[in-house]
Amino acid sequence: MKTVCVMGLGYIGLPTACMLASNGYRVHGVDVNKDIINKLNSGIPHIEEPELEGLFSKVFSKERLEISNKVKKADVYIISVPTPLGNKNMSELKYVENAVDMIKEHICRDNLVILESTSPPGTTENLVGKKIDQYSGLAAGEDYFLAFCPERVLPGRLIYELVNNDRVIGGINPESAEKAMDLYKSFSKASFYLTDLKTAEIVKLAENTYRDVNIAFSNELSKICKNQGISIWDVIEVANKHPRVNILNPGPGVGGHCIPIDPWFILEGGGLKDTLIEKSRRVNDAMPEKVFEAAMDILKDIKDPKITVLGASYKENVDDTRESPTGALMEILKIKGIHASVHDPVAGGFKYGLEDLETAVKKSDLLLLMVGHNIFKELDFGNIARLMNNRNMLDTRNFFHKKELEKYSFKYFQL
């Protein structure tokens, strides 16, 4: 049976390891985080995702997937470690380098090495391939296969999208891309687009940069609509009726570990100055400040106001709070000395603390919706209204209905 070593057991690595283990491969999952390893070896995934727990326990109990912090010799090595932003908005690739250092002594003829981590163009060939070649004396593309295959899954739909989303695969040569495609076809029903390494690296970055620029357009259009005294939501609804228009939603900022980061990767080494891409990043990063200004305008006549923030995750119905706009907002509120409590029953922990609903709304002067978790549709505004000092609602996601809130004598505002 072919063996696969998956380096990095996060949102992508763990589901990928499970899919391969349940489709004919023996998989060795490697992570450097002891808590993750202990939790997984106790039989419980550390990530909240539909279907993941069932899939993991199936392959783990059948010993098709084993977990440790040590690399084991394998036929295939997949690197799916974080690639965060470092200083001066440059990529931080030390986790990729560490993973390559861990596997390079094991690489032998006919192995397949795949980088899945979103990375600046040139990373697969120069950081992964070259390091392995220098150490092993083998040549990427001739003695072993080297490919890049980024994920396109949406948190909350990981398993479904791993199986059904088309994917791009770059190879240092066509044979490498084909070898990687054969591997993913063991569980994927989708189509694969084979190309060279750099094209595949830039395709991934282009997808997310396209989204960031379009969200920035939507946030800017929202300000124009506000200045014109009309609803951005009406404008988007009708404009999107055009067969070739798809304006995205304005919001309180752009979070997560991809969309705010990938545009910087595409600019890295791109040799351009004063770009639309960078300006879009600045527009989106400035949104939490806009939320703060809107909240202060609502609270301007209230001494020592308290704000109840609904939602800590970076987006609806996920537990991930990485790069969350709420984090940026809390930083501003802390600097300005404004008292705020955060309530989020979905988020898996938050550095500014999370309160139960009653504690968070007690004596509050403003409900500030930052994340449209489905569970917030069930809020009992009658009870909440009784607990608050002033009944104000600032809805940054067009999530609630103004008339519904006004029934409980809320003043309803949007960004």
Q: What residues are labeled active site?
A: 204, 258
State which residue, 148 or 314, has the beta carbon closest to ligand SAJ. 314
CA distance 408 to 196: 59
- The amino acid at residue 374 is N
The DSSP code for 140 is B
List Cβ neighbours of 176 (8 Å cut-off, separation of 6 or more): 112, 140, 141, 145, 146, 147
Task: Compute the least distance from the CB of residue 139 to ligand SAJ, in Å.
Answer: 31
Write phi, then psi, for 19 (nearest 5 degrees): -65, -40
Q: Pick the closer one to ligand SAJ by CB: 166 or 406.
A: 166
Short-list 397, 228, 223, CA closest to 313: 397
Q: Check: CB of residue 306 under 8 Å from CB of residue 389.
A: yes
Least Cβ distance, residue 364 to ligand SAJ (angstroms): 23
Query: Is 138 or 369 the residue whose CB approaches ligand SAJ more closely?
Result: 369
Q: Quote the least distance from Cβ 132 to ligand SAJ, whole Å.
A: 25
Q: Three-class SS of residue 393?
A: strand
Those residues whose C-beta lies under 8 Å from the C-beta of residue 202, and which sit 6 or more positions away, are 121, 266
The nearest distance, CB 105 to ligand SAJ, in angstroms, is 30
Nearer to ligand SAJ, 26 or 257 (CB): 257
Q: Return the number of the residue (118 or 188) whose C-beta is nearest ligand SAJ.
A: 118
Q: Three-state SS for 159?
A: helix
With H, G, I as helix, E, B as strand and everything else as coil, classify residue 88.
Answer: helix
Q: How far is the CB of 116 from ligand SAJ (least distance, A)?
A: 10
For the CB of residue 226, give the shortest distance to ligand SAJ in the complex, in Å. Answer: 16
Beta bridge partners of 339: 306
Burial (0-12, 13-18, 19+ Cβ within 10 Å), 147: buried
Residue 241: Cβ-neighbour burial (10 angstroms; 0-12, 13-18, 19+)? exposed
3-state secondary structure at position 121 = coil
> What separation, in Å, do the N-terminal and C-terminal C-alpha atoms of the chain show?
56
**Nearest to ligand SAJ of 315, 343 (CB atom):** 315
**Residue 280 or 392 with smaller CB distance to ligand SAJ:** 280
Chain contacts with ligand SAJ (rule: CB under 6 A): 118, 151-155, 207-208, 211, 215, 248-249, 251, 254-256, 258-259, 314-315
Cβ at position 314, least distance to ligand SAJ in Å: 5
Looking up tokens 């946030």, which residue turns up? 219
Q: In 104-242, which residue ranges form alpha helices assigned H by DSSP?
A: 123, 130-136, 158-164, 174-184, 197-228, 232-239
Say how far apart CA 374 and CA 98 lie, in whole Å.
Answer: 39
